[in-house]
Amino acid sequence: MGESLDPDNSAAIYMKLIARRASLTPQLSLISRPTPLTSASDVNIGRQEVDRGNCLIARYSCAEAIDVMAAYDGESEQGAYGDLKLPSHISETVASGDNSAYHAATPWLASNASQARRNQRPRTRLSRVLQGVVVVALSLVALQYLLALAELGAGKGSGSIKVPLRAQEFLDKCSLLEVKAGPPPDFHKRTQSDRFVVGTKPTLIKNATIWTGSDNGLEVFHGDILLDKGLIKRIGHVHEAELHQYVHLERVDAHGKWVSPGIVDLHSHLGVYNVPTLKGAMDVNSFKGPVLPWLRALDGLNTHDDAYKLSVAGGVTSALVLPGSANAIGGQAVVIKLRPPTDRSPTGMLLENPYETNSSVSHPGIIRYTDAIPPRHACGENPDRVYSGTRMDTIWAFRQAYERARQIKQTQDDYCAKATKGEWTGLGGFPEDLQWEALVDVLRGRVKVNTHCYETVDLDDLVRITNEFKFSIAAFHHAHETYLVPETLKSAYGHPPAVAIFATNARYKRESYRGSEFAARILAENGLQVVMKSDHPVLNSRHLVYEAQQAHFYGLPHNLALASVTTTPATVLGQEHRIGFVKEGYDADLILWDSHPLALGATPQQVWIDGLAQLDAPHLLSKPPSFQKPPKTPNFDKEAQDAVKYDGLPPLQPVPSKARTVVFTNVNSVYLREAKSVNEIYSAGGESGSSGVVVVRDGRIDCVGSATSPCAAAAALEGDAEIIDLEGGAVSPALVTTGSPLGLEEIRSEPSTMDGTVLDPLTDKIPGVVGDGTLIRAADGLQYGTRDALLAYRSGVTTAITAPRSSGFLAGLSAAFSTGGRHKLEEGALLLEVGALHVAIRPVGTPSVSTQIAALRRLLLGQTNTEPIHAIEQVRKGEIPLAVHIHSADAIVSIIALKAEVEAKLGKKIKVTLVGATEAHLLAKELSDAGVGVIVSPTRPFPRAWEQRRLLPGPPLSEKSALTELLAHNVTLGIGVTDAWEARNTRFDVAWVCPLRVNDYCHRPSLIVNLAIVTQAALESDGAISKTDAISLASANVEALLGVETDDLQSDLVATQGGDLLEFSKVVAVISPRRGVVDLV
């Protein structure tokens, strides 16, 4: 009963088998063609269908089809191996459907392989290797033939059950479907971490204040921590007798300072959105379609991202690295640890590796932990913008994808229900699809979903989808409106999602417009988990703890604030069994802080990852004992209530006091601007039991004195005066912001809410009606009453100096305006119509940097073809400054040389101020000698672009920062911001310089008159900067550097409650002499 075995016949039998399976389970057909394939052309058609990905059952069955087709490729003439016959006892057994035929056929094929070669018709000579390949292909064809006959025979009612050769593998896969995701039962019995690096010495941290993360973040105790084998071995008081077994023990005395778990960033693009930003390493988004759950961040994880080291220096030990948000489903995220792996590979960075070694396929015998590969979802504006769709399109894409995953899941469940009962007839291989396995795992509860969603409509959409397809969301990210709809989140399937948010970063697009600084507090009050995240590199994750500090300032309890960057994200990730807590048996990921972690400027003294110290010879800062206490924060109850009451848009416009006289009582200190600098004119510190009084009449300070002074007595006689208790607060000069387009935009991504971008003469055609020699004035495009401007005003930043928005070389002329003004014609609203002339020197390819310098040279030397421009003439005469936006040290050298060249030819000095200046520290002496001022922006350096890579990071990575290096060379300095939303945080930037909760910390006078201080200078120079200089940082000095002349007596003042402007105090009033009012905020 033997049958001739030729490739075409085998393919026909196999394709009939495929068609039979398709008729049994049409939704899982291997190849979309419904009819049997019986010819060479038909086999080619089948191959094309497989190549197109038209296959819903992955590895096993697809491999069968490919093997048969490969065998057909090995011999194009039909009947070439026709003499190879199956023995009748085997073929008869196969025909009967008896499974024993498989076992008989295999040795027979091996023993008769040579017969195939001998009976082959003469043709072109093949090499021995190629002959071997042909024989293997023949064997595969024969086995496929046997499989087909056996299954077809079984279908004739023989009564026999065919058990697949890989039945046990399929049953294993079925059993794994029911296994819950999570650590193995004996995980906490481990004595060594799976990430332990051989040779790591044990470490004993003595005398620490330990925040464990337990008891809802309230457990704190003093003691020791023993680290060994990558784990926390002991917590408490470790006696010397216990340490004899540790031969090479390293000891660290914490001196009572705080130790916390390592920071866990729940939203990062480290390694896939690399810095410096280069096209060759931009792997954050794929634009191949809106739904791409099969893509994996691991496959694009770059180990050379400059940010790893910086983030570790800020205490970040673990991060969830997400694909970008250009897609509805952008791919699979990965949890990494940030220390350099010993094998230098991306795989070596994985917190838990769900894959086989050197494999991209999930190991069938290893449980993939809950968030080994969490998918990244996104809704709202991003996918709509990228794919020119609507929210309806995006939500349909979600539903379509999950319906496909649901069908695969159901087919798997049906398959396993039969397979576990031994009903193998017609089942074939285990049904799976590599493309959709991540979403199938979501439906099985094995993988959590992290979703980028902002607005209520999007949040509600995703919640409904979770209930439709029965899966949970781990966290909503960005989520600017979640605080308005907590009950919507609670109606999500399974459990309410956590919420991963920024502290104050908002209004950069429409869906973030209603973001609130009180969101974290409101969410926590509604019982929802709050996570503060970086979205690195949107925010530099080195300063992720700063987000927690701000959340605490605005009302999030201290225990939840610190948990928001440690224990809560670890729990949301499903990794709370090993990270996010200081517990025995947990990974040895710890931070030793120089102050309380929620104190502004808190800096790690050492960071351990897997028990390995990450900071080599760290540079430490000396801070007083009082810095070890959690900061006191204001009461924002009414503001938080109003945020919800007004649906995210509470009124922000200041309200002038109705009284002509306003009396501030319980004043601790008063600072005023005098002779272009800041001086303290009153302090109650030396007067026992005394506090000060400040009387303001018609917007001007009338008198200042103690509670027993004549000033206080006079205030008591003011019967109609408004009394404001500052509760130990202060009156200080208001601050100035620059560097962002504040006042020229409301929503950055909405052109209709902006002034727009100016045309550039080097790259754009300037319309004749504008004129080649026209310089754009920011004053002409000012928009008053933007929410960012009003929030800045309410935060004590009452003046903004803004240049026209430009992406090219020549921006135009900046203007100075009041951030609390209602319109340009209002008294005191426009402070200066023309300030400095702004240009930018950027490496953008075309035009070249040298071309930009050449253009600037022609402007300054008057060599243009147009009539001299008045503003440029003012620069040449030294009447207004030239503000050059620049970062590269090489380009800065050219500016210094150009200044000298112009001055030599003109015979007079010109004023030049650098804005940005990340690499200026490399030329500190040259800048000082040339008399070039610097406004550092951003104040905390970050290598976002190639021109910023040579930064000086400051402690703990370096003894000095760029700021202190410039300061040491007497370079006149100021600070700025880059985005409009950051303006409100200027007071915190200054406070980072000099956290003034103790009077003896910032004590020394300034080194030169009008010296502007930079953000981290005080901290990084161990108190070499005075309080008054710290305030000058963002007031008098910025104005002087950008050509704003202000009468000190007309400058705004700010009254703060519960501390001075640089502490965690609350701004309650703005005193405006130029407008003659006191605004209550």
CATH of the domain at 553: 3.20.20.140
Q: By C-alpha distance, which of 954, 1036, 1044 is closest to 993?
A: 954
230 vs 707, residue with greater confidence: 230
Residue 622 is assigned to a structural domain of this protein: yes
Half-sphere exposure of residue 266: CA atoms within 13 angstroms, side-chain side: 36
Q: Which of the four pLDDT bands, split at 50, 70 and 90, describes residue 20?
A: very low
Residue 694 is assigned to a structural domain of this protein: yes
Q: Is residue 770 pLDDT above 50, yes or no?
A: yes
Residue 879 is assigned to a structural domain of this protein: yes
Report pLDDT for 690.
63
Q: Which residues contact 130 (CB under 8 A, 6 or more apart)?
A: none
Instruction: Kindly give the pairing relationship between strand 1066-1072 and strand 1053-1057.
Output: antiparallel
Q: Out of 150-164, 426-440, 741-755, which region has the weakest mean confidence (pLDDT)?
A: 150-164
In tens, the pLDDT along 988-1040 reads 998 886 643 333 334 333 322 222 333 343 444 444 577 888 888 899 999 99
Q: Is residue 142 pLDDT above 60, yes or no?
A: no
Phi then psi dihedrals of residue 1046, to 5 deg:
-130, 135
Q: Which of the four pLDDT bands, split at 50, 70 and 90, describes residue 179?
A: confident
Judge if 818 and 858 occupy the same domain.
yes
Judge if 931 and 985 occupy the same domain.
yes
Q: What percent of the chain has pLDDT over 90?
A: 69
Phi then psi dihedrals of residue 265, to 5 deg:
-95, 115
Segment 731-756 shows an average pLDDT of 97
Judge if 977 and 835 occupy the same domain.
yes
Between helix 391-419 and helix 167-177 the angle, nearest 10°, is: 130
Judge if 597 and 675 occupy the same domain.
no
Q: Is residue 491 pLDDT above 50, yes or no?
A: yes
**What is the C-alpha to C-alpha distance for residues 987 and 1033, in angstroms, rounded to an integer?**
10
Q: What percent of the chain has pLDDT over 70?
A: 79
Q: Which of the four pLDDT bands, split at 50, 70 and 90, describes residue 17?
A: very low
pTM of the model: 0.84
Q: Is residue 1068 pLDDT above 70, yes or no?
A: yes
Residue 603 is assigned to a structural domain of this protein: yes
Segment 624-647 shows an average pLDDT of 95
Segment 257-266 shows an average pLDDT of 99
Report pLDDT for 868.
60
Judge if 553 and 674 occupy the same domain.
no
Provide the mean pLDDT of the chain.
84
Contact in structure between 406 and 443 (CB atoms under 8 Å): yes
Q: Which of 167-171, 740-744, 763-767 has the highest mean pLDDT?
A: 740-744
Q: Is residue 232 pLDDT above 50, yes or no?
A: yes
Segment 858-868 shows an average pLDDT of 76
Q: Provide the 8-state DSSP code for 118.
A: H
The total domain count for the chain is 3
Judge if 450 and 395 occupy the same domain.
yes
Q: Which of 146-160, 612-626, 651-665 has the highest mean pLDDT?
A: 651-665
Q: Which of the four pLDDT bands, split at 50, 70 and 90, describes residue 367?
A: very low
Query: In this structure, what token pair is assigned to residue 86?
Result: 């199956």
Judge if 730 and 748 occupy the same domain.
no
Q: By C-alpha distance, which of 981, 518, 501 is closest to 737?
A: 981
Report pLDDT for 621.
84
Segment 797-821 shows an average pLDDT of 97
CATH of the domain at 668: 2.30.40.10
**What is the C-alpha to C-alpha distance for residues 260 and 575, in angstroms, rounded to an integer?**
17
Judge if 523 and 663 occupy the same domain.
no
586 vs 101, residue with greater confidence: 586
- Peptide bond preceding 375: is omega within 30 degrees of 0, i.e. cis? no
Judge if 301 and 330 occupy the same domain.
yes
In tens, the pLDDT along 59-95 reads 334 444 444 444 434 433 333 333 444 455 544 544 4
Report pLDDT for 86.
47
Segment 861-878 shows an average pLDDT of 82
Residue 159 is assigned to a structural domain of this protein: no
Give one DSSP letter per residue of 120-175, joined into a string. Answer: SPP-S---HHHHHHHHHHHHHHHHHHHHHHHHHHHTTT----PPPTTHHHHHHHHH
Structural domain for 1036, as ranges = 735-997+1011-1050
Q: Which of the four pLDDT bands, split at 50, 70 and 90, describes residue 32?
A: very low
From the number of C-beta atoms within 10 Å of its C-beta (0-12, 13-18, 19+), residue 282 rates as middle
Q: Is residue 128 pLDDT above 70, yes or no?
A: no
Q: Is residue 1052 pLDDT above 60, yes or no?
A: yes
Q: Is residue 769 pLDDT above 60, yes or no?
A: yes
In tens, the pLDDT along 669-706 reads 999 999 888 999 999 975 544 689 999 999 999 999 99
Between helix 59-73 and helix 7-24 the angle, nearest 10°, is: 160
Segment 965-986 shows an average pLDDT of 94
Q: Is residue 115 pLDDT above 70, yes or no?
A: no
Q: What's at 975, amino acid-wise?
A: I
Q: Is residue 229 pLDDT above 90, yes or no?
A: yes
Judge if 619 and 703 occupy the same domain.
no
Q: Provide the 8-state DSSP code for 820.
A: T
Residue 519 is assigned to a structural domain of this protein: yes
Q: Which residues contact 1047 (CB under 8 A, 6 or more apart)?
A: none
Judge if 730 and 747 occupy the same domain.
no
At which of 605, 627, 649 does a domain end? Answer: 627
Report pLDDT for 737.
98
Judge if 291 and 409 occupy the same domain.
yes
Report pLDDT for 155.
44
In tens, the pLDDT along 776-802 reads 999 999 999 999 999 999 999 999 999
Residue 104 is assigned to a structural domain of this protein: no
Residue 847 is assigned to a structural domain of this protein: yes
Q: Is residue 514 pLDDT above 60, yes or no?
A: yes
Segment 837-851 shows an average pLDDT of 96
In tens, the pLDDT along 947-969 reads 999 999 999 999 988 888 988 89
H helices of 920-974, in order, are 924-930, 962-968
Report pLDDT for 375.
74
Q: Is residue 223 pLDDT above 80, yes or no?
A: yes
Contact in structure between 795 and 888 (CB atoms under 8 Å): no
Segment 846-874 shows an average pLDDT of 87
Segment 752-768 shows an average pLDDT of 92
